[in-house]
Amino acid sequence: MKYRFQYIESVPSLPNAAMVRGSFVHRVLELLLARAAQDRTLDAVRKDFEIAEGEFRLRDDFRLLLLDATSEADFWESCRECVRAYYRIEQPATANIVELEKWVSTPLGEFELGGFIDRLERDDDGLVVSDYKTGAPKPLRFSTDYLRQLTYYALMCETQLNETPHSVRIYYLGGGKDEHTRDERVVTQAVTDATLADVRDTARRVFGEIEAGKSSGEFATNVTNLCNWCDFKQWCPAHGGDIGQALAAGTERVALRRREAGLPEKT
Ligand code: SF4
């Protein structure tokens, strides 16, 4: 159902601070790790943070947060804390980066799967697909969805680079400063024939369900506590909403926020 709201009905959604923080921290680490290993110094990361901050202050998603002075100070501090957490789990000069923000894709029968890998690194055993999460660390058993997302990228690497990564890895950068060990923050899962087959099967099944939903108009809902953070809850049929109102009301909601943020109307 969320897919329907977002990609079929094209209902615009509003950014939230967690999403923007995630993009911001990715950008800082992208700038840092794009430097030669010996140049990834503390001065460099401070500079990269400033560059990214300058970029984000001009971006619509940041401006749409409508942060007041206190919330904005808290926002930048939470971003700094994520970068500090990164330093507690890795010395950037030691990261053996192969690619950053690399586009990969693979055909899967009737459709093509594609996306940007945030970070592709190489260790003694070969390639590793990795990503940062700016939320608090989750144990392996609760990281399954994230790891599956990364395994899709491993599948695409297999096709496009002719090399199958041996592992996928999440670097968790959120949560309290002294609350998590390095092992809790770095979660790695091996890529195996079984995990690759699982994502191939899942992609085909989901693609089939979307195509069936487009024909029948029926899309599955998944009511959990996470609905409280869903941008479309008020129009979701599972919560008594009217999907027919979503596009107009969602467009008006974003237009109003853009006016409040002093941004031009979107054409
Ligand atoms: S409110 Fe819940 S069930 Fe409805 S679209 Fe959002 S996440 Fe899915």
Q: What is the pLDDT of residues 20-71, one digit of tens each?
A: 999 999 999 999 999 999 999 999 999 999 999 999 999 999 999 999 999 9
Mutate to test the pocket of ligand 1, among 7, 219, 227 (most ligand atoms within 8 A of CB): 227
Residue nearest to atom 4 of ligand 1 (CA): 236
Which protein residue's CA is at the shortest distance from atom 1 of ligand 1? 233
CB of 232 closer than 6 A to ligand 1? yes
Answer yes or no: do 77 and 23 share one domain. Answer: yes
**Which atom of ligand 1 is the closest one to the Cα of 221?**
3
CA of 93 to the centre of ligand 1 (A): 42
Residue nearest to ligand 1 atom 2, measured at CA: 227
| Nearest ligand 1 atom, CA 223 | 3
Residue 253 above 80 pLDDT? yes
* Average pLDDT of the segment spanning 227-236: 95
Considering the domain architecture, whether residues 176 and 141 belong to the same structural domain is answered as: yes
Answer whether 0.85 is exceeded by the pTM.
yes
Span from the CA of 219 to the centroid of ligand 1 (angstroms): 11
In a domain, 265, yes or no: no
Kindly tell me if the per-residue pLDDT of 241 is higher than 80.
Answer: yes
Looking at the structure, tell me whether residues 158 and 253 fall in a common domain: no
- Indicate if ligand 1 lies below 6 Å from the C-beta of 223: yes
Overall number of domains in the chain: 3
Q: What is the pLDDT of residue 267?
A: 65
Distance 7 CA to ligand 1 centre (A): 14
- Residues 26, 125: one domain? no
Q: Name the band, by pLDDT with cuts 50, 70 and 90, for residue 234.
A: very high
Mean pLDDT of the chain: 94
pLDDT at 227 over 80: yes
Please determine, for residue 107, whether its predicted confidence score (pLDDT) is greater than 80.
yes
| 114 and 88 together in one domain | no
Q: Is residue 16 part of a domain?
A: yes
Q: Tell me, yes or no, whether 235 and 170 share the same domain.
A: no
Domain containing 245: what range? 225-260
Instruction: State the average pLDDT over residues 233-247.
Output: 96
6, exposed or middle or buried, with CB in 10 Å at 0-12, 13-18, 19+? middle
Predicted confidence at residue 233, as pLDDT, reads 96
Choosing from 59, 93, 127, the residue where a domain stops is 93
The helix (H) or strand (E) run that includes residue 208 is: helix 193-216
Domain boundary residue among 73, 93, 113?
93
The CATH number given to whatever domain includes residue 107 is 3.90.320.10
Whether 39 and 53 map to the same domain: the answer is yes
Cα dihedral 43, 48, 51, 57, rounded to 10, equals: -120
Of 88, 53, 257, 115, whose CA–CA distance to 173 is shortest? 88
Q: How many CB atoms lie within 10 A of CB 30?
A: 17
151 & 114 share domain: yes
Per-residue pLDDT tens digits for 125-168:
999 999 999 999 988 888 898 999 999 999 999 888 889 999 99
CB of 230 shorter than 6 A to ligand 1: yes
| Residue 245, ligand 1, Cβ within 6 A | no
pLDDT of residue 266: 78
- Say yes or no: CB of residue 235 within 6 Å of ligand 1: no
